[in-house]
């Protein structure tokens, strides 16, 4: 039997597929050729998205910790106990960390739960800070610029301007449009530290010095439009970016030669386009190009998870309401009170994920509700996370799989997984996608929104919906821009969300461009050590680990490693896969040295997931005030054979 069309639950592409079942259960998938996103293609993860439904290692029942011992519990009983436990705390002592892998309906109910039921703005998801640079600029995008543009608009462009997009496996549907374009002799202008598999196909590949994107883009804009002020001399530009004037002019020529330009960047990259300045400078550049005769331009920010965009739009953020409205937007607040049946909303910005974890450690935050299973992969600082989880007085987890998170929780509610979950998602293009049920939930597994509704009701705030459709109906009333969403259109893939966020960049002045302060390599430490969000090949999320095939693939990369190119590695006396010592002025860490010739000379790249090694070698990270994102200091480093 073939299901109705559904959407892959892994990355931000959101490819359409059908699920095949026999009498016993799901047995495979069929990519949807008619799908406007996937066009009949699936990556290794999409082809195996059905496998977790066959995996037997799941949380099937509620688990309650009583007097130090854990036991399975009746769901309703666990709900009422958890509600009782929550009642002990005041609103701002409670925090909710939601997931970017749930549905829009899950996220909307989580927002409502936080603001209407608990009365707090302490709600966030771990990946949100990476979306802030884009969000902060979205409000100022001119009418003539298509942002986000669609994947097929990428295919129609004659120049693809890709910044920091990393490996070709990272966002496969973008890769498909890029390679189809280059085969048709269209241009690829690639700015990326990685000499990825795109590089040999780029008309121009620029590997600038780390964190100099904003300066580079401003300098380019200055070449194209004399009215754009470039507060650096040519020499300064070259020395900051490592890009020569000739290369800059070549980039300018390439850009000027295009009539339809599409820019793509990765919001989750830690090396490129990390700051609001970068996104602003990209817009400055695009505006300069429009002045020079470009007919159309689009910008596609890539988002990591299947519902990062949806979670943000549903208000999973300490300062947002659904529809990308601010918590200070009077009209939105009024509508919220009317639809939710409350007198007022909590005031003042809530805590971000990072702040909630710190507050849990310090004791200011006493209760945490954690939804989804990816906290452990999305928050790389495992030690701080474990501290937070063990110190917080009350921990409620809505999870699909056993993990240190569920071990630490006093209450665990079984969460349904992809294929059991019904609802909608928003992909990287802002396109709404449908998730349909292809298998009955195992055991007592419930959707996130169902558990939250039951908790709310037990807390005295009656919340009950008969289906995800009903939740969507309420959402449509809440956000005027969503009022004409039709599920049929969503199913066909024609529903694109294009609401303008209320968020404006208050404290970025037009003139300000951050100049990266990079340490200088020396003989003792000849490498620059960068940290990047790189897993194999997308990211090792928990769902993937429960697919037998994907688990085999991810198995390759769980011991801490650092990437260095082979010539560089050999110069340290290393061989590929050899144990090594990563030495920096701050300290040292034992890692495996993995040769990757996509890494340029003079650079070593440490994946963010190896946080312990990161802390040892790099030192203390800081949190960006503006975006809330984690910033890792750049350090010089050396490698040597480990004893």
Partner 1 sequence: MVLRKERLNDLLRSIEGQLAAPIRLEHGEVHFAVNPPIEQILQDSDYVNSTISPVALLFPQTEILFNFKLNGKPQIEFPKEPQPLTIFGIRSCDVAAMRYLEMFFSRKFVDTPFMERASRTTLISIACQRPGSNCFCPCCAGGPFLEEGHDIQLTDFGDIFLVEVGSQKGAQFADGRMEFFEPAPSELIERRNRVAEETLQKFQIASHMGTGVRKLTSRSVSEELWNMMAARCIECGGCAFVCPLCTCFDVVDHKLPPDGDGAARGWRERCWDCCQFAGYSIEAAGVNPRPNKVSRFKRRFYHKLSYFYMEMDGRVGCVGCGRCIQVCFGVVDMPAVVNTLREEKLLGVRLR
Give the start-end residues of each E strand in 250-393. 260-266, 296-302, 320-321, 325-326, 367-371
Comparison of 206 and 634: residue with beta carbon closer to partner 1: 206
Q: Which residue, 77 or 488, has its beta carbon nearer to partner 1?
A: 488
- Separation of alpha carbons 538 and 377, rounded Å: 12
Of 21-29, 283-291, 452-460, 495-503, which part binds partner 1 (CB under 8 A)?
21-29
Q: Does 553 interact with partner 1 (rule: CB under 8 A)?
A: yes
Contacts of 44 (CB under 8 A, 6+ apart): 537, 549, 550, 553
Q: How far is the CB of 420 from partner 1 (least distance, A)?
A: 18
Comparing CA positions, the residue from 46, 56, 15 lying closest to residue 546 is: 56
Instruction: Judge whether 252 and 245 are in contact, CB under 8 Å.
Output: no
Site for partner 1 in 202-261 (CB under 8 A): 202-205
Q: Residues 460, 552, 620, 643: which binds partner 1 (CB under 8 A)?
A: 552
For partner 1, the binding residues in 360-399 under the rule CB under 8 A are none
- 508 Cβ contact list (under 8 Å, min separation 6): 136, 276, 277, 280, 626
Within 10 angstroms of residue 437's Cβ, the number of other Cβ atoms is: 18
Q: How far is the CB of 430 from partner 1 (least distance, A)?
A: 21
Choice from 51, 104, 120, 421 touching partner 1 (CB under 8 A) = 51
Strand partners of residue 9: none
* Least distance in angstroms from the C-beta of 249 to partner 1: 17
600 contacts 565 by C-beta, under 8 angstroms: yes
Angle between helix 104-112 and 468-478 (nearest 10): 60
Q: Is 414 helix (H, G, I), strand (E, B) or coil?
A: strand
Query: How far is residue 342's CA from residue 440's CA, in Å, rounded to a whole number?
Result: 35
Give the one residue of 42, 220, 297, 408 binding partner 1; rule: CB under 8 A: 42
Please state whether the peptide bond connecting residue 148 to the residue before it is cis, i.e. omega within 30 degrees of 0: yes
How many residues bind to partner 1 according to rule CB under 8 A?
58
Q: Are 31 and 14 in contact (CB under 8 A)?
A: no
22 lies in the site for partner 1, by CB under 8 A: yes
Instruction: Name the CA radius of gyration of the chain, rounded.
Output: 24
Q: Which member of 8, 9, 12, 29 binds partner 1 (CB under 8 A)?
A: 29
The nearest distance, CB 27 to partner 1, in angstroms, is 4
Stretches 45-53, 237-245, 396-404, 450-458: which one binds partner 1 (CB under 8 A)? Answer: 45-53
Which span (18-26, 389-397, 444-452, 497-505) binds partner 1, by CB under 8 A? 18-26
The residues in 453-492 that bind partner 1, with binding defined as CB under 8 A, are: 491-492
Contact (CB, 8 A) for 195 and 205: yes
User: 606 pairs with which residues across the strands?
Assistant: 531
The interface region with partner 1, picked from 23-31, 104-112, 355-363, 369-377 by CB under 8 A, is: 23-31
Residues numbered 79 to 118 that lie near partner 1 (CB under 8 A) are none
Where in 154-213 is the site for partner 1 (CB under 8 A)? Answer: 168-169, 172-173, 175-176, 179-180, 182-185, 197, 200-205
Residue 55 found at the interface with partner 1 (CB under 8 A): yes
Residue 505 CA to residue 133 CA, distance in Å, equals 9
Stretch binding partner 1 (CB under 8 A), from 28-36, 304-312, 316-324, 604-612: 28-36
User: How far is 421 from 419, CA to CA, in rounded Å?
Assistant: 5
Residues that bind partner 1 (CB under 8 A): 2, 4-5, 16, 18, 20, 22, 24, 26-35, 39-44, 47, 50-51, 54-56, 168-169, 172-173, 175-176, 179-180, 182-185, 197, 200-205, 491-492, 537, 548-549, 552-553, 555-556
């Amino acid at each position: 039997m073939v299901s109705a069309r559904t959407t892959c639950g892994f990355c931000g592409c959101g490819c359409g597929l059908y699920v095949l079942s026999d009498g016993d259960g799901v047995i495979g998938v069929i990519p949807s050729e008619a799908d406007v996103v996937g066009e009949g293609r699936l990556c290794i993860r999409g082809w195996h998205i059905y496998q977790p439904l066959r995996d037997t290692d799941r949380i099937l029942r509620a688990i309650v910790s009583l007097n130090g011992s854990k036991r399975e519990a009746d769901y309703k009983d666990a709900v009422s106990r958890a509600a009782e436990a929550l009642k002990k705390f005041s609103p701002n002592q409670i925090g909710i960390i939601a997931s970017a892998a749930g549905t829009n309906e899950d996220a909307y109910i989580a927002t409502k739960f936080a603001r209407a039921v608990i009365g707090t703005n302490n709600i966030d998801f771990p990946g949100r800070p990476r979306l802030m640079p884009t969000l902060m600029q979205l409000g100022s995008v001119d009418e003539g610029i298509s942002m986000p543009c669609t994947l097929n608009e990428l295919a129609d462009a004659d120049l693809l301007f890709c910044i920091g997009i990393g490996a070709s496996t990272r966002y496969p549907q973008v890769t498909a449009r890029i390679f189809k374009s280059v085969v048709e002799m269209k241009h690829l202008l690639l700015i990326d530290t990685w000499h990825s598999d795109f590089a040999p196909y780029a008309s121009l590949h620029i590997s600038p010095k780390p964190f100099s994107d904003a300066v580079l883009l401003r300098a380019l804009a200055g070449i194209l439009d004399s009215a754009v002020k470039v507060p650096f001399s040519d020499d300064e530009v070259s020395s900051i970016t490592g890009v020569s004037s000739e290369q800059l002019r070549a980039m300018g020529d390439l850009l000027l030669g295009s009539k339809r330009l599409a820019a793509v960047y990765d919001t989750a990259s830690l090396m490129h386009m990390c700051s609001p300045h970068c996104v602003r400078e990209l817009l400055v550049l695009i505006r300069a190009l429009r002045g020079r005769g470009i007919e159309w331009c689009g910008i596609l920010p890539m988002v990591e998870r299947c519902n990062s965009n949806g979670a943000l739009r549903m208000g999973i953020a300490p300062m947002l309401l659904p529809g990308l409205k601010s918590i200070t937007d009077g009209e939105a607040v009024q509508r919220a009170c009317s639809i939710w049946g409350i007198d007022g909303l909590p005031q003042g910005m809530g805590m971000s994920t990072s702040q909630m974890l710190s507050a849990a450690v310090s004791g200011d935050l006493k209760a945490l509700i954690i939804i989804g299973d990816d906290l452990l992969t999305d928050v790389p600082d495992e030690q701080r996370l474990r501290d937070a989880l063990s110190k917080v007085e009350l921990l409620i987890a809505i999870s699909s799989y056993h993990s240190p998170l569920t071990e630490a929780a006093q209450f665990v509610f079984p969460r349904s997984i992809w294929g059991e979950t019904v609802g909608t998602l928003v992909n990287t293009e802002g396109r709404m996608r449908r998730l349909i049920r292809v298998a009955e939930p195992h055991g007592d597994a419930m959707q996130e929104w169902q558990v939250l509704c039951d908790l709310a009701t037990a807390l005295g705030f009656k919340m009950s919906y008969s289906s995800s459709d009903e939740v969507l109906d309420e959402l449509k009333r809440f956000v005027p821009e969503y009022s004409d969403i039709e599920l049929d259109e969503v199913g066909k893939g024609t529903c694109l969300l294009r609401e303008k966020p209320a968020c404006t960049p208050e404290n970025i002045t037009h003139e300000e461009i951050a100049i990266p302060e990079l340490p200088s390599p020396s003989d003792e430490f000849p490498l620059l050590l960068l940290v990047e969000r790189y897993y194999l090949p997308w990211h090792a999320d928990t769902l993937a680990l429960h697919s037998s095939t994907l688990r085999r693939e991810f198995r390759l990369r769980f011991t801490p490693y650092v990437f260095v190119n082979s010539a560089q590695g050999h110069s340290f006396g290393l061989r590929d896969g050899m144990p090594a010592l990563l030495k920096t002025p701050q300290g040292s860490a034992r890692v495996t040295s993995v040769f990757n010739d996509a890494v340029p000379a003079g650079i070593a790249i440490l994946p963010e997931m190896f946080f312990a090694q990161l802390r040892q070698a790099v030192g203390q990270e800081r949190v960006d005030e503006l975006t809330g994102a984690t910033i890792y200091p750049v350090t010089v480093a050396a490698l040597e054979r480990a004893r």
